[in-house]
Structure 1
Amino acid sequence: MEHVSFKQMKDGTAEEFIFLRKLENEFCTRTASRLIEELIRQKTETLEGYRITRYEHAVQSATRAMRDGADDDWIVATLLHDIADGIAPRNHDRAAAEILRPFVREDVCWVIEHHALFQTFYYGEHLGWDKYAREAYKDHPWYQLTVDFCENWDQSSFDENYPSEPLETFIPIVERVFNREPYWFQNKN
């Protein structure tokens, strides 16, 4: 079979959906590569006005996480925390979290999902926003993780002179994380 015959999903056969599932599984094995390609694309595309590109920010953030002894989930999440900035600038945090969700722990995903709000602590007052908006989550168990992520790895990673690791350092880690069984399958009997 080269392609399905149906024009509406409700008309598909079991054979067609099994065929599509096989192709989808093959496509999923290349997720890490597509994410790395997106990072590389961000070498030349960036938000104007910053001293470094999105790519450099990503690599610098991940380098800081790695040098702090973070595990694979944190390193990959830090590398990719702004991966959706170019296509979803108003909700890049939630979009990045959804990309990561099957493959990183829940606490790491929550941090990525909320990091943009937590980052406003550093600049919100200059724009007339509530710099303490993150306090709405002060009783959340992952509040401090998010504060620490922003302080140590995100807001501090806009330095064009920081000696970051090359992207090649992170590629095997990204591949390891995105090629393992998604978390929701790992915990099923």
Structure 2
Amino acid sequence: MDDLPTAQFHTMSDGTQEDWDAIMTHMVPHARSGGARVLEHLRLLEGDCGGFAVDRLTHCLQTATRAHRDGRAEDYVVMALLHDIGDVLGAYNHPDIAAAILKPFVSEELHWIVQHHGIFQGYNFFHFLGLDRNMRDQFAAHEHAAATQEFIDKYDCPAFDPAYDTLPLSFFEPMVMRLFEKPRSSIYKKALAEA
């Protein structure tokens, strides 16, 4: 892409149509390859056990494998795969990172599940850390609370089993690539679709 034109401004307030046409020649292929970058980042979880019986990548793969084998839709399976992708960057807010990555590509329900899964999973261990294990109760009346609890119980919670027959990342790669091809919502959706 080194031969593509580049913008000439040094401050965005000086940008011209020609500058933004040049920027879009870079942005369109960059945006469309988002799935590949997400998969590359997910691979950073490999080998990092963080004290668990399986590494973080295996945990994500097991969560997605369980969702897939349970007949969940492809976007749900990808959400399950990526729910802990933020572990590398956000020790204090990993669900928020995963939710931000997925937000343009999934339904409001799936976004809510991934954003709140940490609090719901906390029921199983917060009390060992001196935290309130019932923190999730603040969301009991929320329309997606039951779906989030189901995600935890069926897929996230049991996905730390070294003996589980886990599908490899290569199985999920096409699903990730399809999901990240086109956003459902984004302030840039129209501009990228027309480019």
In the superposition, the TM-score normalised over structure 2's length comes to 0.90
Whether the 8 Å contact between 1:77 and 1:108 is mirrored in structure 2 is: yes
Residue 181 of structure 1 and its aligned partner are, at CA, apart by 4.1
Deviation of residue 6 (structure 1)?
1.1
* 1:36 is the counterpart of 2:73: no
Runs of 4+ in structure 1 deviating by more than 6 angstroms, as ranges, are none
**Per-residue deviation at 1:180?**
2.7
Q: Counterparts of 1:82-97 in structure 2 under 5 Å?
A: 82-97=84-99
- Cα–Cα, structure 1 residues 4 and 180, in superposed 2: closer, same or farther, change >3 Å? closer
Query: What do residues 50-91 of structure 1 show as CA deviations (whole Å, max 9, x unaligned)?
Result: 111111011110000001110011100000001111011111
The aligned amino acid for 1:119 is Q
Tell me the residue number matched to 1:112: 114
Is 1:20 equivalent to 2:23 in the alignment?
yes
CA distance in 2, matches of 1:41, 1:126: 28
Instruction: Give the Cα–Cα distance (whole angstroms) in 1 for the partners of residues 23 and 109 of structure 2.
Output: 33
Match of residue 180 from structure 2: 178
Corresponding residue to 1:5 among 3, 8, 19: 8
SS at match of 2:87: coil
* Most deviating of 65-74 and 13-22: 13-22
Give the letter aligned to residue 37 of structure 2.
R
Offset, 1:172: 1.0
In structure 2, distance between residues paired with 1:129 and 1:175: 38
Q: For 2:7, what is the secondary structure of its paired residue?
A: coil
Q: Who is 1:150 aligned against? A: 152
Report the equivalent of 2:82: 80
- Aligned partner of residue 130 in structure 1, secondary structure: coil
Deviation at 1:183, TM superposition (A): 3.5
* CA–CA distance in structure 1, aligned partners of residues 112 and 144 of structure 2: 7
Instruction: Give identity over the alignment, percent.
Output: 33
Deviation at 1:47, TM superposition (A): 4.6
Aligned counterparts of 1:105 and 1:13: Cα–Cα separation in 2: 35
Gaps of 5+ in 1: none
Structure 2 residue ranges without an equivalent (≥5): 191-195
TM-score by length of 1: 0.93
Distance 1:125 1:2 in 2: 56
Find the aligned partners of 1:181 and 1:149 in 2 and give their Cα distance: 23
CA distances 1:160-183 after superposition (whole Å, capped 9, x unpaired)? 110011111111111111113434
Separation in 1, partners of 2:18, 2:87 = 39
**Which residue among 131, 140, 146 is the counterpart of 1:129?**
131
| RMSD of aligned alpha carbons | 1.5
